[in-house]
Structure 1
Amino acid sequence: MDPLKALADAERKPYWLDSPARPEPQPRLVGNTTADLVVVGGGFSGLWTALMAKERDPEQDVVLLEGRRIGWAATGRNGGFCMATLTHGLPNGLERWPDEIDQLERMGVQNLDEIEQTLLRYGVDCSFERTGELVVATEPWQLEALNEHLDLIGELGLDYQPLDQDQVRAEVNSPTYLGGLWERSGCAMLDPARLAWGLREACLRLGVRVYERSPVRALDDDGVTISLRTPHGTVIGRRVALGTGVFQPLLRRLRHLVVPVYDYALMTEPLSDAQLDSVGWRNRQGIGDSANQFHYYRLTDDNRVLWGGYDAVYYNGGLVKPEYDQRDETFVKLAGHFYDTFPQLSGVRFTHRWGGVIDTCSRFSAFYGQAHGGRLAYAAGYTGMGVGATRFGANVMLDFLSGERTERTELQMVRETPMPFPPEPVRSGVIQFTRWSIAQADQHQGRRNLWLRTLDRMGLGFDS
């Protein structure tokens, strides 16, 4: 089908948030109040922090402030891949923290297990399916990269299954696949919006006071407490946890460590039984290809295909604007790639198209820190793999705020800070040239030019 025709009736809104299950917002903060812990941000980072704070100490008074609606930003716009990795994938973790990789992988699997247990404990229905992820090669050079770490994977005891061309096409039938690697237990598929709404409900049941449509405009520290001012009220807290991603950084240092990158996705209409049979996909894995500019895709519980990725767009100046959520050039490109991958689905149309902003840092995985004498903690920079890792980050923030030394806080990954980005306009030039270089690498059998090799040597190995 012509991509323009296939997109003609697609709603310009995130599929996950376009649901009758979306709850009514909690009230705005009006007037002044106090709290033991104030959590800023109603995405996964803030929700996990508030929930686990009450689990650690049911008696403490916890307030969560969200500027708009719970889950409206990256939390409600992602692909719903809940991954065990804490390091944005094994290769990135190996490159940066080789001495800790076995520990980081173990802690990541434990974190994913605990997410599953939490959903069962609170009865959160978010279509959680522990299907694993299928990483596929569509070019010969990608096969080499997939096989590079197989020996180490075996040593770490990770549940990966290499697949040749026939085996991978038996799993999911695409003429583009040359081979693959099935990470069988380290990834779950879920509905991210329903996860956020379920976590909100769990927080409320435990006594967290949740205020939506209450953006924090200023932070003031009197040396003992921290005041967070919203348009209609103020919360004075003993401790503060920031989980705001790229939005309104209340700490100046975060402006230099995080940049906004836009990611885009499409959702198809539900596949018929015959259409699904033509693809196979009986094990319902999440899928990602191995290019630098990669696609990610998965089935929903009603057998739609979410198809996203490829273009990761930085808008010069690093601005975050609502109009950036829509980019027709990318939508048309994605639709064409979908039909190239699954020509047997040429009659399928798209029902939704949307974009969202990701908080990216130079090390491609989250970083953590403290400020205001240890009374404020933050986690940011998840770079698109935060559905699961934000829970780990929430635990790090709570460890910091309690003053505890834990296995998490002793990690080199947690103690290190990523290299800051240069100021504008140099930042825009560097990022745009890097994006161009990445595209060129995909067109030249993965060969990275001098600029990318220099970034690699500096520990800034951009790959998407």
Structure 2
Amino acid sequence: MNSIWELDTFYRKRDIIIIGSGFSGLWTAISIKEKYPEKSVLIIERNTIPLGASTRNAGFACFGSLTEVIADSQKMGWEKTLELVKMRFEGLQKIRKYFKNDEIDFDLNGGYEILNNEEPLFHLDSVNEKLKAITGLDQTYTLKQNKIHEFRLEKSEFLIENPCEGSLHSGKLLQKLLEKCHELKVEFLFGTEVGNIEETANEVEVYLSDDLSVKADQLIYCTNAFTSSFLKKENIVPARGQILLTEPIEGLKLKGTFHYDEGYYYFRNVGNQVLLGGGRNQDFKTEETTAFETTAFLQNHLENFLKEVVLPYTDFKIALRWSGIMAMGDEKTPIVKQISERQFCAVRLSGMGVALAPKIGEMVAEMI
């Protein structure tokens, strides 16, 4: 049983409850409190820290590689693709507006893509033309053959550079967002699992156990890959991204963030270490899971990729291995909508949560 003190404070009724304290949950809370400072906002998170993909990603500040943008345009059409690229680009700008580079280890060191066939190069001019209105650059993507040798990527045929992309420290970004939330008087219940949710004409009741609940006027799901336990009808497929990180490498030449194969592989330097993730297109079915594990098959595959493509002339040892869970679907457009009189969702960020969440927060604040 709970005391009157607990029920009057921690478990009292709020204006808004957000489930999930990852990037989308935190940015949504910030956008709401900036727009409606008088509203009380509670974020409920089942883990002791934000988890999912937010603290388990690769720390890329990117909005789409050339081949990814081409593939998306062929699947979704140019209108939706450009809308998405614009959201990601503006989301990255917003992060930099809110936080100083050194607070979140933001490094605008360029985004690169390795190509081993020239077909995407035929689209270079037309894609640049379409992105001009978003990035303000005549050439968002340029061919940078001289950097292949500089980065010691000699096993690669072509290298495309995007000067608008870079890297950041996901943990530090989350910490700064949490600080901002505290500053705006957003409240939290960490380590708290949500059970049943009941909506009536007047309120939403969120059950934390059989005899304990918190009520609110409105509820927002920011649960990304973990949404299906709440919203069964939405088209959301969990997608695990496995990652490894090398021990420090003396005289490492690699600097920047790199993509390969429509973004299915991604690697970067973290100081003088190399972080590599992806490869789930080698084993789609196994990786459609919410289990935070790594598999011998994919870890071996990633190590081989490291040997053959990223560090072909360098000995390395692996320091860390981890995985994060992204949310995918039939297309990459996020699901941001009202789902009932008092419930909303902002989910399915397709592996681009860092860039999308700042803008998604604004969209939800407009909706409520």
How far apart, CA to CA, are the structure 2 residues paired with 1:108 and 1:347?
36
* 1:322-401 equivalence runs, <5 A: 322=292, 325-343=293-311, 345-373=313-341, 375-401=342-368
Deviation at 1:294, TM superposition (A): 3.3
**Does 1:303 find its partner at 2:282?**
no
How far apart, CA to CA, are the structure 2 residues paired with 1:250 and 1:115?
29
How far apart, CA to CA, are the structure 1 residues paired with 2:347 and 2:96?
23
**Does 1:163 find its partner at 2:163?**
no
Q: How many residues align?
A: 353
Deviation at 1:101, TM superposition (A): 5.3
How far apart, CA to CA, are the structure 2 residues paired with 1:245 and 1:343?
34
**One-letter amino acid of the counterpart of residue 156, structure 1:** L
Q: Residue 67 of structure 1 contacts residue 213 of structure 1 at CA under 8 Å; is this kept in 2?
A: yes
How far apart, CA to CA, are the structure 2 residues paired with 1:343 and 1:83?
23
Q: Residue 366 of structure 1 contacts residue 381 of structure 1 at CA under 8 Å; is this kept in 2?
A: yes
1:32 alignment partner, SS class = coil
Deviations 1:123-173 (A, max 9, x none): 982211122310111x22xx21244142231353244242253x2314422
Q: Which residue number in structure 2 is paired with residue 41 of structure 1?
A: 20
How far apart, CA to CA, are the structure 1 residues paired with 2:328 and 2:172?
24
Deviation at 1:109, TM superposition (A): 2.6
How far apart, CA to CA, are the structure 2 residues paired with 1:174 and 1:156?
27
**Does 1:285 find its partner at 2:263?**
no
TM-score by length of 2: 0.87
Deviation at 1:341, TM superposition (A): 1.7
* 1:107-186 equivalence runs, <5 A: 107-120=87-100, 125-137=103-115, 139-140=116-117, 143-157=118-132, 158=135, 159=137, 160-163=140-143, 165=145, 167-185=146-164
Q: Which residue number in structure 2 is paired with residue 443 of structure 1?
A: none
Deviations 1:340-387 (A, max 9, x none): 1244553221100112222111103422221122x2221222221211
**One-letter amino acid of the counterpart of residue 253, structure 1:** K
Percent of aligned positions with the same letter in both sequences? 20
Deviations 1:39-82 (A, max 9, x none): 11011110111122112222211100001133222111111112
How far apart, CA to CA, are the structure 1 residues paired with 2:286 and 2:152?
39
How far apart, CA to CA, are the structure 2 residues paired with 1:107 and 1:245?
17
**Does 1:196 find its partner at 2:174?**
yes
Q: Residue 91 of structure 2 contacts residue 357 of structure 2 at CA under 8 Å; is this kept in 1?
A: no
Residues 216/317 of structure 1: CA separation in 2 closer, same or farther (3 Å cut): same
2:241 alignment partner, SS class = strand
Deviation at 1:311, TM superposition (A): 2.4
How far apart, CA to CA, are the structure 1 residues paired with 2:85 and 2:290?
33
How far apart, CA to CA, are the structure 2 residues paired with 1:184 and 1:147?
20
Q: Residue 30 of structure 2 contacts residue 361 of structure 2 at CA under 8 Å; is this kept in 1?
A: no
Higher relative contact order (CA 8 A, sep 6+): 2
Q: Residue 202 of structure 2 contacts residue 217 of structure 2 at CA under 8 Å; is this kept in 1?
A: yes
Residues 73/341 of structure 1: CA separation in 2 closer, same or farther (3 Å cut): same
1:299 alignment partner, SS class = strand
1:358 alignment partner, SS class = strand
**One-letter amino acid of the counterpart of residue 285, structure 1:** G
How far apart, CA to CA, are the structure 2 residues paired with 1:363 and 1:43?
21
Instruction: Extract unaligned runs of 5+ from structure 2.
Output: 1-5
How far apart, CA to CA, are the structure 2 residues paired with 1:344 and 1:149?
28
Q: Which residue number in structure 1 is paired with residue 248 of structure 2?
A: 270
Residues 147/367 of structure 1: CA separation in 2 closer, same or farther (3 Å cut): farther
Q: Residue 168 of structure 1 contacts residue 177 of structure 1 at CA under 8 Å; is this kept in 2?
A: no
**One-letter amino acid of the counterpart of residue 91, structure 1:** I
**One-letter amino acid of the counterpart of residue 399, structure 1:** E
Q: Residue 71 of structure 2 contacts residue 262 of structure 2 at CA under 8 Å; is this kept in 1?
A: no
Q: Residue 219 of structure 1 contacts residue 228 of structure 1 at CA under 8 Å; is this kept in 2?
A: yes
How far apart, CA to CA, are the structure 2 residues paired with 1:363 and 1:327?
26
How far apart, CA to CA, are the structure 2 residues paired with 1:349 and 1:75?
26
1:264 alignment partner, SS class = strand
Q: Residue 268 of structure 1 contacts residue 352 of structure 1 at CA under 8 Å; is this kept in 2?
A: yes
**One-letter amino acid of the counterpart of residue 336, structure 1:** N
2:205 alignment partner, SS class = strand
How far apart, CA to CA, are the structure 1 residues paired with 2:311 and 2:93?
37
How far apart, CA to CA, are the structure 2 residues paired with 1:317 and 1:44?
22
How far apart, CA to CA, are the structure 1 residues paired with 2:83 and 2:280?
32
How far apart, CA to CA, are the structure 2 residues paired with 1:191 and 1:198?
11
Q: Which residue number in structure 2 is paired with residue 456 of structure 1?
A: none
Deviations 1:395-427 (A, max 9, x none): 2222221xxxxxxxxxxxxxxxxxxxxxxxxxx
Deviation at 1:292, TM superposition (A): 5.3
Q: Residue 58 of structure 2 contacts residue 275 of structure 2 at CA under 8 Å; is this kept in 1?
A: yes
How far apart, CA to CA, are the structure 2 residues paired with 1:317 and 1:76?
18
Deviations 1:280-326 (A, max 9, x none): x3xx320011x2583200111x321101111244456965334xx12
- Calculate the aligned-residue CA RMSD, in Å: 2.8
Residues 317/343 of structure 1: CA separation in 2 closer, same or farther (3 Å cut): closer
1:356 alignment partner, SS class = strand
**One-letter amino acid of the counterpart of residue 120, structure 2:** A
How far apart, CA to CA, are the structure 2 residues paired with 1:266 and 1:110?
29
Residues 377/337 of structure 1: CA separation in 2 closer, same or farther (3 Å cut): same
Q: Residue 94 of structure 2 contacts residue 358 of structure 2 at CA under 8 Å; is this kept in 1?
A: no
Q: Residue 335 of structure 2 contacts residue 348 of structure 2 at CA under 8 Å; is this kept in 1?
A: yes
